[in-house]
Amino acid sequence: MTQTVEANCSADFLIRGRKSAFKTHSPEETQEIGVRIGRQLNPGDVVALIGDLGVGKTCLTQGIAHGAGVYQDQTVNSPSYILINEYEGKIPIYHIDLYRLERLEDIVDLGLEEYLEGDGICVIEWADRMSELLPENHIQVKITGEDEFTRAIEVLPVSAD
């Protein structure tokens, strides 16, 4: 199933548990896909973002935070230097960026696993760096750059069963 931003896809594409694919042509369109994802998230959900440097993971996260009901006055930007940003909202959001992760053990040392098991929503950039530690149930989002402004976004709900 391939959908573009322009296509009139159902609002609950994620809840249905099927793979969805989108194509965006601007940062605003990527944020809009993020909003749609965010609206479907529940407490405890983990979103694993995978994609190259500068492809749009933070951009998508901005939309996800907005869609999940983060209070308006908070800036959502890359937490690269501090690994984790917390945003308050209807459901707390933990924005984790593993770009600077040096050792997998640091995840444990920093207590990141507690966030993953908690009732907030975790959105993880460079989630493939901790694939062994991701919960069995999570939402995998792969972003691929096709040209300067075109991004392919694949959303795949992963579950144990």
Ligand X SMILES: Nc1ncnc2c1ncn2[C@@H]1O[C@H](COP(=O)(O)OP(=O)(O)OP(=O)(O)O)[C@@H](O)[C@H]1O
Interatomic CA distance for residues 95 and 160, integer angstroms: 24
* Sequential DSSP letters for 82-115: TSEEEE-BSS-EEEEE-TT---THHHHHTTHHHH
Q: Give, as ranges, the residues between 50 and 69 that touch Mg ion (CB under 5 A).
A: 57-58
Out of 125, 130, 140, 155, point to the residue binding ligand X (CB under 6 A): 125
Decide if residue 78 touches Mg ion (CB under 5 A). Answer: yes
CB-nearer residue toward ligand X: 5 or 17: 5
Encoding tokens for residue 106?
A: 């640091």
First to last CA, the chain: 21
CB-nearer residue toward Mg ion: 23 or 57: 57
Decide if residue 140 touches ligand X (CB under 6 A). Answer: no
Q: Give, as ranges, the residues between 117 and 136 that touch Mg ion (CB under 5 A).
A: 125
Interatomic CA distance for residues 86 and 84, integer angstroms: 7
Decide if residue 112 touches ligand X (CB under 6 A). Answer: no
Q: Which residues sit at the interface with ligand X, rule CB under 6 A?
A: 24-27, 29-30, 51, 53-59, 78, 99, 125, 149, 151
